[in-house]
Amino acid sequence: MATILADTDSAASPRDNSVPEAVVVRFAGDSGDGMQLTGGQFTLSTALSGNDLATFPDFPAEIRAPQGTLFGVSAFQINFGSTEITTAGDQPDVLIAMNPAALKVNAPALKAGGLIIADTGEFTKRNLEKAKYDVSPLEDGSLAKWDLLAFDISALTIEAVKPFGLGNKDALRCKNMWTLGLALWMFDRDRQPIIDGLNAKFKGDKKILADANIAALNAGHAYGETAELAGPLKQQHIEPVPSPAGLYRTVTGAESVSYGLVAGAQLAGLPMFFGGYPITPASAILHNLVKMKEFGVTTFQAEDEIAAICSAIGASYAGHLGVTSSSGPGIALKGEAMGLGIMTELPLVIVNSQRGGPSTGLPTKTEQSDLYQAVYGRNGDAPIPVVAARSPADCFEVAIEACRLAVKYMTPVMLLTDGYIANAAEPWQVPDPAAFAPFPVAFLEEKNGDDVVLPFKRDERGVRPWIKPGTPGLMHRIGGIEKAIDTGNIDYNPAVHQAQTDARKAKIDGIAKDIPDQEVCLGNASGKLVVVGWGSTFGPIHQAVRRARAKGLDVSHIHVRHIWPLPRNLGDLLKGFDNVLVPEMNTGQFKTVLRDQYLVDATPLTKTSGQPFTIAELEAAIGKYFDAIPDNEGGEVPADDTQLPSIEAVNTDGPNAVPAAE
């Protein structure tokens, strides 16, 4: 067997006798093998055992890929540990490969010295051909740098479920539970919650399926116990992570943003209207909200992206909290309507689940390349607040913040998430929505002028009143044409356009006074280097800075939620550091904003391969500031073929739902 390569940077191999801080496991199989379900159940057991975790579902873009093919491989990665986990892990320690294609696609990513568990029952001549193997990799020594545990899981599963008299096909469908049983044994997990789940899922005349699956689960678990003595399989117990006391669950970004929007509407005291159009990876928000009618949510699947935002603006005009959601291409289509929202000063929340671009780009891969579009991407001088979520759980608070700014300042607000955040799951301490300060809306009910209604009379913050059609005596007209001060009547006068452009800008700029000061989330408030991030790069940046600081390097981490307007103290904060490094999954967009706003020498570190940053890449980039080699800082992180593909962002309805491809 292969030599173990010491890897001090990340989690130890599970083969070590010492107990690692964290372990990365990747379940990979054919789309029909139920890997997402297996991963979801393993995630649940991991959460229940008190480990922190982050997951990374990776399924094919094709809805029904042909069986056994390389592009039909579905995988689910989980990183869990006894310490704070903020990424799905750079490289897996354990790969469970249910067929040759799954092995071929995923083995290159596996950490040297890692463990491969393979089902020999699927390594048939036909499947090897489909995976484009000439010789079985289990036999030709090509897997020598990893530990290999290959045995016939298919046969063992059939044997285990024999008493239930299932057909061969149905019996083999229990393979994933057999594998899960083995994985549960490997990490010393309780089987009972899974058994309870199976019993709840298969009832009545389907009870036999529950029994068969439970038998497979138990058989896999028992196999671990007996195989331990002989092979490379070792049982490990990962200690629970010390977390704040409270009730926890797992949540994806799409779920969390949906809950946050509903909470935001409740805090504003408004019904909510959601206008959406199907697009990957944003559709899951529509799927979630449609199930929340009791919260006064109306959802509308419009005929296109434009109608989606226009209907939401129409609903805002009627006094609802209008919300729309999309991804980059759809956001581009919504641009003109956003301008109308800005011009007529109506509240609106626009959720942008970013993906790789331009054009159709990488529909299922993550990127942060819509920042320019969010901040600058409209005709005319058209400022709107932009907020960005850093993680799935963070979406809840950020969505509430977006709602607050929209109704308090009568403006469209853009909330940026991305494909990774939308689909990844993480543990979440269930928040108390009542703990958030309400921001109730007061509609104008009576004339606010001298016996006239002045729909564009601004208050001290520059905000106009919100007037619902149906209110007696306040009839007025609004529109996209430039308008007179106070009355809102059409007025193209040069001085009026100057004054209104200034007023619209001042209103948005003024929001900086109503948002928290920027905090340093790790490290000192001044020093040699600060790594400034926004959005889903939080996880890898945070871990990289933590590790660098553990090595004694003077580096801090700042993560910005309010992208526009920026927190008032951010400029001064940045100027307290000798160097500012801005890692982004784009060609340096936030870097440009920081340079423009503060004249700071922000150095970009960019990655546009559709893959998230790995912790190691960021550690290396930080290290360059301390290596005494001049001018090697920043730059571009190249695509890495051995890195896992970025999360396949599809539209699932949460970790417990069965994805379309399975």
Residues 7 to 46 in contact with other proteins, rule: CB under 8 A: 44
Contact segment (CB under 8 A) with other proteins among 136-144, 293-301, 550-558, 617-625 equals 293-301
Dihedral of the alpha carbons of 364, 369, 370, 373, in degrees to the nearest 10: -140
Residues in the chain: 662
Q: How far is CA 328 from CA 349, 354, 557, 607, in A?
A: 15, 6, 28, 18
Amino acid at 52: D
467-506: contacts with other proteins (CB under 8 A): 468-481, 489-490
Residue 540 CB, shortest distance to other proteins, in Å, is 25
SS (H, E, C) 144-158: CCCEEEEECHHHHHH
Question: Would you count residue 440 as binding other proteins (CB under 8 A)?
Answer: no
Residue 402 CB, shortest distance to other proteins, in Å, is 17
Contact segment (CB under 8 A) with other proteins among 96-104, 119-127, 247-255, 618-626 equals 247-255
What string marks each residue from 169 to 208 as x (binds other proteins by CB under 8 A) or -?
---------------------x--x---x-----------
Beta bridge mates, 115: 94, 147
Among 275, 356, 462, 533, binds other proteins (CB under 8 A): 275
Residue 148 CB, shortest distance to other proteins, in Å, is 33
Question: Would you count residue 165 as binding other proteins (CB under 8 A)?
Answer: no
User: Quick one: tokens of 484?
Assistant: 């007179």
Amino acid at 516: P
358-387: contacts with other proteins (CB under 8 A): none
Q: Spell 228-252 as b/e; 16+ CB within 10 A means b.
A: eeeebbeebebeebeeeeeeeebbb
Among 340, 555, 600, 605, binds other proteins (CB under 8 A): 340
The kind and range of the H/E element at 598 are: helix 589-598
Residue 143 CB, shortest distance to other proteins, in Å, is 36
Closer residue to other proteins in complex, CB, 592/656? 656
Closer residue to other proteins in complex, CB, 184/581? 184
Question: Would you count residue 235 as binding other proteins (CB under 8 A)?
Answer: no
Q: What are phi and psi of 29, to 5 degrees?
A: -165, -170
Question: Would you count residue 446 as binding other proteins (CB under 8 A)?
Answer: no
Question: Would you count residue 301 as binding other proteins (CB under 8 A)?
Answer: no
Question: Would you count residue 347 as binding other proteins (CB under 8 A)?
Answer: no
CA distance 96 to 102: 9
Question: Would you count residue 398 as binding other proteins (CB under 8 A)?
Answer: no
Closer residue to other proteins in complex, CB, 292/503? 292
Q: Nearest Cα to 238, choosing from 447, 14, 26, 491?
A: 14
Q: How far is CA 140 from CA 69, 115, 444, in A?
A: 21, 17, 77
570-609: contacts with other proteins (CB under 8 A): none
The kind and range of the H/E element at 400 are: helix 394-409
Question: Would you count residue 430 as binding other proteins (CB under 8 A)?
Answer: yes
Contact segment (CB under 8 A) with other proteins among 85-93, 227-235, 248-256, 541-549 equals 248-256
Beta bridge mates, 74: 29
Among 337, 349, 508, 615, binds other proteins (CB under 8 A): 337
Q: What are phi and psi of 402, to 5 degrees?
A: -60, -45
Residue 279 CB, shortest distance to other proteins, in Å, is 17
Residue 374 CB, shortest distance to other proteins, in Å, is 20
Question: Would you count residue 395 as binding other proteins (CB under 8 A)?
Answer: no
Among 134, 226, 229, 303, binds other proteins (CB under 8 A): 303
40-79: contacts with other proteins (CB under 8 A): 44, 47-50
N-to-C CA span, the chain? 35
Closer residue to other proteins in complex, CB, 433/623? 433
Q: What are phi and psi of 359, to 5 degrees?
A: 50, -140
SS (H, E, C) 60-105: CCCCCCCCCCHHHEEEEEEEEECCCCCCCCCCCCEEEECCHHHHHH
Closer residue to other proteins in complex, CB, 304/502? 304
103-162: contacts with other proteins (CB under 8 A): none
Question: Would you count residue 262 as binding other proteins (CB under 8 A)?
Answer: yes
